[in-house]
Amino acid sequence: MSEGRALGAIPLGERLRVSTLFACCCTSSYLLINHLNAPPLRAPTALVEWEVDRAIPFLAWTVWPYIALLFTDFFFPLLIGERAFFRRVMRAYAATAALSALTWLALPTTLPRVGFVPAGETLSERTYLLLISMDPPNNCFPSGHISIPTVLFWALARQWPRWAWASWLSLGLLSLTILTTKQHYLIDLLGGLAAGAAGLWVTRERGAGDATGRRGAHL
């Protein structure tokens, strides 16, 4: 590979292959660990519901932005066209995914799904029921639904600094859906943000600055 290619733009096809590989590996490992952490194989620890968790209502329609947030794991890397920055982001992606998976294995957690499971009268409710049928209530902390998107929304904010506010606002609003779908508690959300920040920190560029198309940028 030439130096010019290594430092220049990365073709969409290559981004697509890498993004597909990462998304498939993360999804499959999450589902595998989720099922391994369920009885009778393991007895995950039930998370404590805070007062704020009890105060947040269940909103079935928020299953749609909840699902949209999930798909950022695949689509957002496709928006990063500069090779060095793409590599930087995907290293953080991998580190965050690994940290999350190790935490799920070492500290398995669960939460109850009682009192808010809908009857399936609307499309949103039926979609939610399908979602929870495939996704047992384990691997709660940290929320993988938050950790990887934290890295990717950070990447978009770095790539388009003029619109950084929109990137962070979108992450903030979409993050709330893990609470309004009762898939997670607030502590899981905070843990997901921390895992994403940790992934960015351990893979940060040292010395010359971060590669974002803007020389001298720092985490």
What digits encode the pLDDT tens for the residues 58-111?
Answer: 999 999 999 999 999 999 999 999 999 999 999 999 999 999 999 999 999 999
Structure tokens at 103: 């935490």
CB 171 within 8 A of CB 67: no
**pLDDT value at 215 more than 60:** no
Q: Residues near 158 by Cβ (< 8 Å), separated by ≥ 6?
A: 85, 164, 210, 212, 214, 217
Provide the mean pLDDT of the chain: 91
Q: Can you give the residue ranges of every domain in the chain?
A: 18-202
Q: Label residue 12 by pLDDT band (50, 70, 90).
A: very high
Q: Label residue 33 by pLDDT band (50, 70, 90).
A: very high
The H helix count followed by the E strand count for the chain is: 10, 2
Which contiguous run of DSSP H or E holds residue 218? none
pLDDT of residue 207: 62
